[in-house]
Amino acid sequence: MSNLDIEAPPTVFTRAHFPSPAQRRMGPMTFPLPLSPYVPEDTMKTNTAISDIPSPSKLPVFPLPVTTSQSDEFEKMKQQLLEALQKIDDYGKKENELQSKIDELDTENKKLKAEVEKLIDQDNENKNKLTIYEEKARMMKLDEESKENMLEVLQYVELLVNENNTLQQENSTVKMINNEMTQEMENLTVLKNELEIALKQKSAEPEVTLESELEDTTCTICTEEMRLKKCAPCRRRFHKSCLEHWLQEKNSCPTCRAPMNV
């Protein structure tokens, strides 16, 4: 139980417990005395109408048993209450002091953070400078080494140039041979296409037999030889005089009826 936990008195004294001398009666007292209940003032203001509040004259009058123990207890509770209030004030002051210390520590912490960030920036800057210096030293070392090996590099470059020229000459020769082979392949391709076309035409021509060959050597109109005119679709041959006489009547082949002219 802390010092702030103060027990409330069992009874709150009101004006009814202190009657006037005219109303006070002396006589034997019986215990326990009926005491009026405590009603808080804010509850009376909010939850009780003015007409519901009894006036002091209507309150019951009870004789007050005044004893030394109750007075001592009341003084003791009053003293405890004062001590509790004093402790609350002390705690409030301590809390304010702690809050001020916390604010000071926060301010110092912010300052320290700013200093740390500044140191970090300086460290990064120093690292960058060190890197630049190291790179410069490395480049200077490379320059010295390159100067020492310059002649060897020039000789190697000259050798590479000569090899490149040789390769270019060989490449031009290879290109010329390639062009010749390409031209030859194109000629062979053209020849192949011509042979395929001729083969297709040959396969499309009708089969030549002895009978068709004999028929092809005679005129279809007079059945005589010495043909002079040929029909393209059916490959029949005719004498010129026979064909002219035939075409005077009909403008078509006498065999396949295809259109013909003299």
Per-residue pLDDT of 124-166, as tens digits, reads 888 888 888 888 888 888 777 777 777 787 888 888 888 888 8
What are the tokens at 168? 């270019």
Nearest-10 crossing angle of helices 150-204, 68-148: 80
Output the pTM of the full model. Answer: 0.25
Task: Give yes or no for a contact between 253 and 231, defined as CB atoms under 8 angstroms apart.
Answer: yes
Task: Give yes or no for a contact between 219 and 203, defined as CB atoms under 8 angstroms apart.
Answer: no
Separation between Cα atoms, residue 6 and residue 225, nearest integer Å: 157
pLDDT at res. 15: 53
What is the fold of 215-262? Herpes Virus-1 (3.30.40)
pLDDT at res. 30: 47
In the chain, domain spans: 1-66, 215-262
- Burial label, 221 (beta-carbon count in 10 A; 0-12, 13-18, 19+): middle
Residues contacting 17, CB < 8 A, separation 6+: 35, 36, 62, 64
User: Using H for helix, E for strand and C for coil, what is the string for the chain?
Assistant: CCCCCCCCCCCCCCHHHCCCCCCCCCCCCCCCCCCCCCCCHHHHHHHCCHHHCCCCCCCCCCCCCCCHHHHHHHHHHHHHHHHHHHHHHHHHHHHHHHHHHHHHHHHHHHHHHHHHHHHHHHHHHHHHHHHHHHHHHHHHHHHHHHHHCHHHHHHHHHHHHHHHHHHHHHHHHHHHHHHHHHHHHHHHHHHHHHHHHHHHHHHHCCCCCHHHHHHHCCCCCCCCCCCCEECCCCCCEECHHHHHHHHHHCCECCCCCCECCC
Separation between Cα atoms, residue 196 and residue 202, nearest integer Å: 10
Q: Is the peptide bond before 206 cis (omega within 30 degrees of 0)?
A: no
What are the tokens at 68? 């030394």
Separation between Cα atoms, residue 256 and residue 259, nearest integer Å: 9
| 259 backbone dihedrals φ, ψ, rounded to 5° | -60, 135
- In a 13 Å sphere around the CA of 23, the CA atoms on its Cβ side amount to 13
Q: Which residues of the chain have pLDDT under 70?
A: 1-68, 202-233, 235, 262
pLDDT at res. 1: 46
